[in-house]
Amino acid sequence: MYDAELGTESLAKLFKVLSKPDALEIFLLANGGIENSTYAIEELDLTPRKYYSRLKQLVDMGFVRKTGGVYRQTSFGSMIYSQLLPAMGRAYDARDRLELIAEFKGTEIENKVKNLIEDELNIPSFAEFTKVKLLRD
């Protein structure tokens, strides 16, 4: 791993692309490889214009790449798919329990409660896991 600096504006762009349901569906489909865009367009019930627009956004952000005529997730995209999205889903499902951390803020048991909840949910600290330092733009 390496240390990187990621500004809030850059991070917002990454989330903006994946926040679009059409782009997210294409991204998920690219995990298995998209060999035939016509099939993908029909499968996802998208217009060609919307499909190619979202696909371009995914490519431009480095989530997906075309190799040998097949659109596949990049290593970065694969990491997002296999680690970040599931962790976000688990955190969302457990948001009530995560609120307990806020209730213990400033107390001696804050870190113990935080560690127990994070361990139980298997949620890595994003900044620690990726060694990404967030900057204010």
In this structure, are 19 and 52 located in the same domain?
Answer: yes
The reply to whether 60 falls in a domain is yes
Query: Which CATH number fits the domain that encloses residue 72?
Result: 1.10.10.10
Q: What is the pLDDT of residue 9?
A: 85
- Average pLDDT value for residue range 53-65: 97
Sort 34 into a burial class: Cβ within 10 Å, 0-12 / 13-18 / 19+: buried
Interaxial angle between packed helices 21-29 and 48-60, expressed in degrees from 0 to 180 and rounded to the nearest 10: 70
Q: Is the pLDDT of residue 135 over 70?
A: no
In this structure, are 94 and 54 located in the same domain?
Answer: no
pLDDT in tens, 62-120: 999 999 999 999 999 999 999 889 888 888 888 887 777 667 677 777 677 777 777 77
What residues make up the domain containing 99? Answer: 84-128
The mean of the pLDDT values for the chain is 83
In this structure, are 59 and 89 located in the same domain?
Answer: no
The reply to whether 135 falls in a domain is no
In this structure, are 50 and 107 located in the same domain?
Answer: no
Q: What is the pLDDT of residue 69?
A: 95
Q: Angle CA(84)–CA(89)–CA(106) in degrees, nearest 5? A: 85
The reply to whether 136 falls in a domain is no
The count of domains in the chain is 2
The reply to whether 106 falls in a domain is yes
Query: Between 51 and 121, whose confidence is greater?
Result: 51
Q: What is the pLDDT of residue 8?
A: 83
Q: Is the pLDDT of residue 125 over 80?
A: no
In this structure, are 70 and 121 located in the same domain?
Answer: no
In this structure, are 91 and 64 located in the same domain?
Answer: no
- Average pLDDT value for residue range 11-28: 94
In this structure, are 71 and 102 located in the same domain?
Answer: no
- Average pLDDT value for residue range 36-58: 97
pLDDT band at 127 (very low <50, low <70, confident <90, very high): very low
